[in-house]
Amino acid sequence: MFKYALFFLVISIIAGAIGMTNISQLARRIALVLFALFFLGFLALLGFAYLVGEAFQAGTQSMLPAGVSAA
């Protein structure tokens, strides 16, 4: 998705440079929407990774008091 956002951004820049403002605005809007979707997906994955990391850390901590070993 990020690749497509960059693709539409390049199209927008090129179209704006040669004077096709309608095409440039449309490509810019598509690029912004795609980048926003990519960024929201990235944040969601980052949040899931944080939650999974917390779950693994909670599983490694012992519930026994210090100095007591499980036999």
Contacts of 8 (CB under 8 A, 6+ apart): 27, 28, 30, 31, 34
Flag whether pLDDT at 37 surpasses 70. Answer: yes
Where do the domains of the chain lie? 2-54
Instruction: List, for residues 59-68, the tens digit of each pLDDT value.
Output: 666 565 666 5
Using a cut of 0.85, tell me whether the model's pTM lies above it: no
- Give the pLDDT score at 58: 66
- Give the model's confidence band at 42: pLDDT under 50 very low, under 70 low, under 90 confident, else very high: very high
